[in-house]
Amino acid sequence: MLDINKIREDFPILKREVHGKPLIYFDNGATSQTPQIVIDAIVDYYTNYNANIHRGVHTLSQEATDKYEEARIKIQKHFNAKHAYEIILTAGTTESINVISAGFTSLLKEGDEVIVSALEHHSNIVPWQMMCEKTGAVLRVIPMEEDGSLRMDLFDELLNNKTKLVFCNHVSNALGTINPIETIIHRAHKFGAYVVIDGAQACPHIKPNVQELDVDFYVTSAHKMCGPTGVGMLYGKKELLEMLPPYQGGGEMIETVTFEKTTYAGLPHKFEAGTPNICGGIAFGVAIDYMNSIGFDTIQARENELLTYATEKLLQIDGLKIYGTSHKTSVISFNIEGIHPYDIGSILDKLGIAVRTGHHCAQPIMDFYKIPGTVRASLSFYNTKEEIDVLVTAVTKAKMMLS
């Protein structure tokens, strides 16, 4: 069982007030909060061994390098990658996707087809559109159902021998839908297509096993997993990472440089040009340790309990509609009839409650529902039923004020 009081003590920000009210943080889909142990790891780096990595023979550089590479191994083990060098440390999910799309820009040709789902965040749409504009490849879209699930029957119709890439999120950031990525990967591989899974919204709740999934590329960000901003992961199968050209040139990603010819370093350094977010990478490893110390089975059970409770309570408010009712995790995206989501969010903020309003960088989903956006309450294991009760009371109050 989760000792929620002990868990909440790990997060110093949960003690603060907003507008004179205790902070209630329901914007975990945008970024999770950071436990003290992760904050301490960042402070420890800058206090005790701040130095550049991989390049120095002096003690501080060696210590920083060892800590950074230890974090890579932690990430490898967490996601069950076969090799540590299959883990590329990036600035986050968005950069990870751009590394892949830029690489395939040199590999695709006019008439090739790529498939994206209708449930994607803009960061898993725009890079592929840019890739298609440069290559002449054609972008196809898996349509969605009213309940927020994907039309898997139509996915089968889209797949053909021209399909080269399929990209899909593991969990929708706007609706919380858990997509059937195992099925997507299996069906795409039958046509020889590679699959890229955006795991940013899934990894705080689910522990993916990349070898078991047989996924070609899997990407995520630390800041949604109790880690710092500005750091993330790109997993790729060894042979595919070796096939892709470097994303950018600079220090660290080279083997030899002359004015006549440059040769590139092996994995993972081929994709890690320049000085990285060293303390961020180290803290990412600490955040993974923290979440694993709680246990993802425990986290899932806790969050499913909170999701069920919040859904039942919110649906008791007249005129409230929840978008995305398929198999899902930890996200409730809702509107109240006749009221703009921004107005509800503004009132909730005055009551100390942090939610997200708008299109959540998923405009095609909002266009599908013909709405300007939603109020999104996204839950984490450190939230409580008491906080949900306050949210429900506040939404009810907001409705009365705005009706």
Catalytic positions, written as ranges: 361
Buried b (16+ CB within 10 A) or exposed e, 237-267: beeebeebebbeeeebbbeeeeeeeeebbeb
Burial class of residue 160 (count of CB atoms within 10 Å of its CB; 0-12, 13-18, 19+): exposed
Nearest to 302 by CA among 24, 3, 2, 14: 2
Nearest to 89 by CA among 211, 235, 226: 235
Distance separating alpha carbons of residues 181 and 197, to the nearest angstrom? 8
Distance separating alpha carbons of residues 175 and 331, to the nearest angstrom? 6
For residue 268, cis peptide bond before it (omega within 30 degrees of 0): yes
DSSP annotation of 94: H
DSSP annotation of 269: G
Distance separating alpha carbons of residues 250 and 248, to the nearest angstrom? 7
In angstroms, the Cα distances linking 138 to 141, 185, 240, 252, 392 are 10, 20, 22, 35, 45
Task: Sort strands 374-378 and 356-358 into parallel, antiparallel or unpaired.
Answer: antiparallel
Say if residues 318 and 104 touch (Cβ distance below 8 Å).
no
- How many of the other CB atoms lie within 10 Å of CB of 157? 10
Q: Is 229 helix (H, G, I), strand (E, B) or coil?
A: coil
- List beta partners, residue 257: 262
Which own/partner pairs from 219-222 qualify as long-range (CB within 8 Å, at least 24 positions apart)? Answer: 219/90, 219/93, 219/96, 219/97, 219/100, 220/93, 220/96, 221/92, 221/93, 222/92, 222/280, 222/283, 222/284, 222/287
Which bin fits 338, alpha (ψ -120 to 50), beta or left (φ > 0)? left
Distance separating alpha carbons of residues 245 and 206, to the nearest angstrom? 31
